[in-house]
Chains A and B, each alone.
Chain A
Amino acid sequence: MALDPPAVSFRGLGQVFETRGGRVEALREVSFDVARHEFVAILGPSGCGKSTLLRMVAGLLKPTRGRVSVFGLPVTEPRDDVGIVFQKPTLLPWASVEDNILFPARHKRGSVTQQDRARAAELIAMTGLQGFEKRLPDELSGGMQQRVGIARALHMDPDILLMDEPFSALDALTREEMGFELSRIFEARRKTVLFITHSVSEAAILADRVVVLTGRPGTLAADMPVSLPRPRGIETASMGATHEFAGHLRSLLLRRAA
């Protein structure tokens, strides 16, 4: 184990924002590890510092206290092996689906290679976007747009994927569908995933492990493995064990919020 550091490690993490309105303590003493290829869902009330946590892993924010390490190395700046999916797809409205997926490569290196295009085509097929390559984001549904957002994050082939409430802007049905889609994608191509959500059932169905944070300042309230069998699909959603686990998560959250 000593030879194989966790993909992400939080140690005594604390974050205080000095704002005009005063000090905001977003996180306090958060410590947990995420193993390689593990899918960890993070649950917690709004404003408890979940996004802040992800921004630290991405190297976009330095913790006030404690340390974040990725593959054993403290995060001091953004890394190439971390990809981000945002709550809103935030695509480039002037660029086609294909160009949006190619955007990270083009933005980082200035141009794209034949290989980049081949990878984009592969991702387009994997995320079910065939036939929409040349469409503009405007012409796509919310679900389709978020597929592009996911494909964009996967294009640089990151080891770690940070997903900040990626489906919360979608309607309930599309949201569920996208969840299964995501399961399928990661069944085929394992990644380490940090997945923020407000939905207990989404957490139960998707994750290997669920981390629950308390209200502000966010501290670790619970850290539980999800023992539902894989591969997971529509059947998982209707299983009694899933409902039981989701119910358990919900009561945890409600108790913490009260």
Chain B
Amino acid sequence: MSSPDISAASSSAARPETETAPRTKRGSLLLAPGVLPGLTTLVILLAWEGATRLFAIPSFVLPSPLGILAGFEAVGLSRWAEHIGATLRVAMLGYAVSILVAVPLAIVLARSPVLSRALYPILVVVQSTPIVAVAPIIIVVMGAGDLPRVVITCLITFFPIVVSTTTGLMATPPELIELSKSLRAPAWREITQIRLPFAVPYIFSALKISITLAVIGAVVAEFVAAEKGVGYFIQFSTSMFRLPQAWAGLLILAGMSLLLFQAVTLIQKRVFPWSLPKDAP
């Protein structure tokens, strides 16, 4: 939610110079951080609730917001925590393993044109195979437990990180590479002190994409085989025609993705503030 907030704040700050006083007051209240998106959400929820009542839409077609809330409460916090914990664990494990494999692989690809030419087609084939189709096979091969789910999550998050990191490693200013060579510094230091830091903006743009893919990976794996997790819960509830609960799970997944995305953004902002575009505050 932070990016709309920021733009709203900055445009409201720019207003007073160009507009007359009374309009400025109303405009700035409307444009205060969070107000506009909050209002929009409220309007949508009210319209949704009203429509489901007015047209008597059955809950298995479209449950009302209050119905979803009731569904959420029926499950209970401790069971939610269990499901969320399971999904989060697989998503984060897969994400972490993915980063640990993808970044070193990107370094190898960036350093060796030969290996790059040899491995790239394989990576593209893996990437273009639909994960949903591969997931059942992986589960059968690897059996029960978190391992196959983590592998599925890895497979889906891996490619953007490899590609983006490789691009970043190659985007270093050639002058700095010449400087490094002219100093006869060890080659690995060219990676750690020049290329990797220069790749940070590229790596983070991939990390932001991959964190939401990680949640998708975990959910896909749970759809195939699991006894816990938000994905499993949605599928189970749907099969029992408990649609309000399925919707509650869906909203939780969306919230989870959003929060994780924001967490990655925040880490970049805190740890690598220089890597953000210059006009960002």
Contact = CB atoms under 8 A, between A and B. Distances in A.
A75 to B, nearest CB: 11
A212 B179 CA distance: 26
Interface stretch (B170-178, B215-223, B239-247, B255-263): B170-178
Interface in B43-80: none
A107 B197 CA distance: 14
Contacts of B278: 138
Interface string B178-219: 111111110001000110010010000000000000000000
B274 interface: yes
Contacts of A78: 181-184
A108 B183 CA distance: 6
B237 interface: no
Interface string A78-108: 1010101010101011100000000110111
Contacts of B173: 88, 90
B7 to A, nearest CB: 22
A36 interface: no
Interface string A136-147: 101000000000
Nearest to A149: B175
Interface size of A as a range: 20 to 34
B197 A94 contact: yes
Interface in B250-281: 272, 274-275, 278
Given A107-B185, A108-B184, A110-B189, A93 B179 contact: no
A138 B274 contact: yes
Nearest to A59: B182
Main secondary structure of the interface of B (DSSP, over half): helix
Name, among B179, B180, B193, B278, the residue most crowded by chain A CB atoms within 10 Å (CB to CB): B179
A84 B178 contact: yes
A134 to B, nearest CB: 13
Contacts of A84: 178-179, 182
Contacts of B189: 107, 110
A123 interface: no
A107 B182 contact: no
Contacts of B175: 86, 88, 90
Given A94-B272, A94-B274, A138-B278, A107 B180 contact: yes
A257 interface: no
Contact of B193 (A82, A90, A93, A106): A106
Contact of B178 (A60, A88, A108): A60
Interface in B147-185: 173, 175-176, 178-185
A60 B183 contact: no
A68 interface: no
A55 interface: yes
Nearest to A162: B182
Interchain residue pairs A-B with the least CB separation, the first 3: A90-B175, A78-B182, A86-B175
29 contacts: A58-B178, A60-B181, A60-B182, A78-B183, A82-B182, A84-B178, A86-B179, A88-B173, A88-B175, A90-B179, A92-B176, A92-B194, A92-B197, A93-B274, A94-B274, A94-B275, A103-B193, A104-B179, A106-B193, A107-B179, A107-B180, A107-B183, A107-B185, A107-B189, A107-B193, A107-B194, A108-B184, A110-B189, A156-B183
